[in-house]
């Protein structure tokens, strides 16, 4: 008899190799995604801080009291609202005052990042955790 095809053992070996490759690749992909989320969070906080500092320059040293003051002006200091929003796996909270601000970006879940970032008046970015 001349049969053509694969034996069960050959198929199981191929499946085992694919599973091994997946076990190696998936954690690396998740780690890369977390790193990208953290970089995006830092960039978002710096953008918000720059907008607040620009606002203060335009209004004689008075910082915005709300995010709406920066998104609602013409032209806007910020193109979108970030406070109380989740963007790229990070949730943002903001404390605006006429004398300064504190902006925080925290991971929305365990798979989106490990570091919480806070930026304060003057653009001082501080990482926590991670």
pLDDT 10s per residue in the chain (130 long)? 677 888 899 999 999 999 999 999 888 888 999 999 999 999 999 999 999 999 999 999 999 999 999 999 889 999 999 998 999 999 999 999 989 999 999 999 988 999 999 999 999 999 998 6
Nearest to 91 by CA among 31, 33, 37, 29: 37
Q: Read off the pTM.
A: 0.81
Nearest to 67 by CA among 53, 46, 83, 79: 83
* C-alpha dihedral, 53 to 56 to 62 to 68, nearest 10°: -80
Q: With the C-alpha atoms ordered 94, 128, 38, 126, is the resulting torsion angle positive or negative? A: positive
Domain coordinates in residue numbering, the chain: 8-129
């Amino acid at each position: 008899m001349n049969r053509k095809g694969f034996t069960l053992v050959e198929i199981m070996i191929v499946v085992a190799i694919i599973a091994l490759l997946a076990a190696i690749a998936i954690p690396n992909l998740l780690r890369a995604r977390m790193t990208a989320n953290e970089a995006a969070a830092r960039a978002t906080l710096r953008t918000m801080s720059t907008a607040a500092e620009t606002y203060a320059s335009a209004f004689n040293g008075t910082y915005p009291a709300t995010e709406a003051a920066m998104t609602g002006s013409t032209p806007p200091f910020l193109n979108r609202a970030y406070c109380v929003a989740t963007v790229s796996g990070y949730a943002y909270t903001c404390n605006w005052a006429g004398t300064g601000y504190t902006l925080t970006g925290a991971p929305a879940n365990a798979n989106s990042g490990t570091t919480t970032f806070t930026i304060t008046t003057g653009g001082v970015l501080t990482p926590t955790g991670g």
